[in-house]
Amino acid sequence: MAFAGFGRSQLSYDMFDLARSAAEAKRLAKCENIYHRGQELAWDGKDVLGELLARHGGVHVADAQRAALERVFTIILWGELAAWKISAQLADRLVPLEAKMAATSQAFDEARHFYVMHDYLTALGFKPGRLDRAPQALLDLVLETDDLAAKLMGMQLMIETIALALFQAVREREVEPVLTELLRYFERDEARHVGLGMQYLPSLLTGMSRREGVRLVTFQIRIMYWALTELRLVRSDFETLGIDPRRVIESVRKKQLAAIGAAYEAVGIPFDRDRNLAAMSLNGVVELMFPPVPAPLAARARTAWTAFWRRAQPGSLDVFAPHQHAIRTARGVVAPADG
């Protein structure tokens, strides 16, 4: 505690003295770049949403799909507020300058996502209420943890990848014209946020004891449990919107394996160490909760057991390419998609 200039200060005076390896310096340079790209690619939410509403003559959603869209995007709205708060926590707590800059830039993006999503839902004539228990439990886990590795893993590598998969699914189904275009802007930003997790989590994994590693995987499994429970909750809404929940799970799985695998491999931890319990559990639980065709419990349990033992391989980062859309920035220029 600090008092009258004595004691421990909140200012990290040693932030420039921290030793870093060449590989870590390279990753931190990428974090710094996330901040600068965030500034170059910042878009004006009022302007973009206003232009889309004018061009499409307001929002147009089929009556049969309205309630489903509202339920799913209530989760997204509060998820954006949680992302704003979590990135602000990280901006405060991460010490290296470059990582702090990237988290600060994310907080700026998430503020825009939150108000734009709120304005969009208002245009839809919808007033969002409280979240159900599962999505609330998921967001609370990440909001409340003091463990920075868990926070970064939970937010940047898990919640962001779920959001990306969901945005992509809704956009591809062209559920509502304004939303279809708006989501391209959101996806472009969220993909950058996954980048912060991939570049900085390795620094937190370095030197982690086996016990801390197991604790991190346990945290991953808890997030996954609530994410799948949430998905089960909105399953019929997904079906109403023409979205196959298993395809969304598969898309999330590929993104998470690629991003988390890259973070582990950056510091030489084989991704499949401990047979990657989080990936194994996901494979098993999906078969139990989301069978491709309705099946009795015993049959689902057998399939789940086989799926559990499937080896997890980190995938290619190409799975993030579909989120790199061309957007119109606040500087009035069209930024082409990243190659």
Binding site for Fe ion (CB under 5 A): 80, 83, 110, 113, 190, 193
| Residue number with CB closer to Fe ion (88 or 307) | 88
Determine contact, residues 264/216, Cβ cutoff 8 Å. no
Alpha helices in 124-209 (DSSP H): 133-144, 148-152, 160-173, 177-205
Determine contact, residues 158/82, Cβ cutoff 8 Å. no
Question: Shortest distance, CB of residue 79 to Fe ion, whole angstroms?
Answer: 7
| Residue number with CB closer to Fe ion (181 or 190) | 190
Residue 2's DSSP bridge partners are 7
| Residue number with CB closer to Fe ion (192 or 253) | 192
What is the CB neighbour count within 10 angstroms for residue 278?
A: 23
Distance separating the N- and C-terminal Cα atoms of the chain: 48
| Residue number with CB closer to Fe ion (34 or 249) | 34
Which residue shows structure tokens 């969901």?
166
Tokens representing 313? 């391989």
Question: Shortest distance, CB of residue 155 to Fe ion, whole angstroms?
Answer: 8
| Residue number with CB closer to Fe ion (32 or 80) | 80
Question: Shortest distance, CB of residue 110 to Fe ion, whole angstroms?
Answer: 5
Question: Shortest distance, CB of residue 285 to Fe ion, whole angstroms?
Answer: 25
| Residue number with CB closer to Fe ion (113 or 184) | 113
Question: Shortest distance, CB of residue 325 to Fe ion, whole angstroms?
Answer: 15
Question: Shortest distance, CB of residue 236 to Fe ion, whole angstroms?
Answer: 25
Per DSSP, 322 falls in state: G
Alpha helices in the chain (DSSP H): 22-40, 45-56, 63-93, 97-123, 133-144, 148-152, 160-173, 177-205, 210-233, 235-240, 245-266, 277-289, 297-308
